[in-house]
Amino acid sequence: MRKPIVAGNWKMNKHIGEAQELAAGVAEGTNGFDDVEVVVGPTAICLAPVAAVIEGSNLGLAAQNMHWADSGAYTGEVSPTMIKDAGCDWVILGHSERREYFHESDKDINHKTHVAIEHDLKPIVCIGETLEEREDERTLQKVEFQVRAALAGVNKSDIKNIVIAYEPIWAIGTGKTASPEQAQEVHADIRSMIADIYGQEAADAIRILYGGSVKPHNIAEIIAQPDVDGALVGGASLEVDSFVSIAETVNSKQ
Ligand code: PEP
pLDDT tens-digit profile of 90-106?
999 999 999 999 999 99
Q: If you measure from the C-alpha of residue 212 to the centroid of ligand 1, how many angstroms do you get, rounded to a whole number?
A: 5
pLDDT of residue 26: 98
What is the mean pLDDT of the segment spanning 43-69? 98
Please compute, for residue 56, the number of CA atoms within 13 A of its CA located in the half-sphere on the CB side.
4
If pLDDT is split at 50, 70 and 90, which confidence band does 253 have?
A: confident
Give all domains of the chain, ordered by start, each with its CATH number. Answer: 5-253 (3.20.20.70)
Q: If you measure from the C-alpha of residue 233 to the centroid of ligand 1, how many angstroms do you get, rounded to a whole number?
A: 5
Q: Known binder of ligand: residue 10?
A: yes
pLDDT of residue 254: 67
Q: What residue owns the CA closest to ligand 1's atom 8?
A: 234
Q: Known binder of ligand: residue 9?
A: yes
If pLDDT is split at 50, 70 and 90, which confidence band does 1 have?
A: confident
What long-range pairs does 101-107 form, CB within 8 A, spacing at least 24?
A: 106/145, 106/146, 106/149, 106/150, 107/149
pLDDT tens digits for range 194-212: 999 999 999 999 999 999 9
* Residue 16: pLDDT over 80: yes
172, 96 contact by CB (below 8 A):
yes
Torsion angles phi and psi, residue 44, rounded to 5: -55, -40
Of 47, 62, 198, nearest in space to 124 by CA: 62
Residues with CB under 6 A from ligand 1: 9, 167, 172-173, 211-214, 232-236
Q: Largest Cα–Cα distance in the chain?
A: 49
Q: Known binder of ligand: residue 234?
A: yes
What is the mean pLDDT of the segment spanning 130-148? 97
For ligand 1, pick from 9, 98, 99 the residue to mutate: most ligand atoms within 8 Å of CB: 9
pLDDT tens digits for range 59-97: 999 999 999 999 999 999 999 999 999 999 999 999 999
Q: If you measure from the C-alpha of residue 239 to the centroid of ligand 1, how many angstroms do you get, rounded to a whole number?
A: 13
Catalytic residues: 95, 167
Q: In this prediction, what percent of the chain has a pLDDT beyond 90?
A: 97
Report the C-alpha gap between 2 and 163 in whole angstroms.
11
Determine the 3-state secondary structure of 7 from DSSP.
strand
Q: What is the DSSP code (8-state) at residue 129? A: -
Which is the closest atom of ligand 1 to the Cα of 165? 3
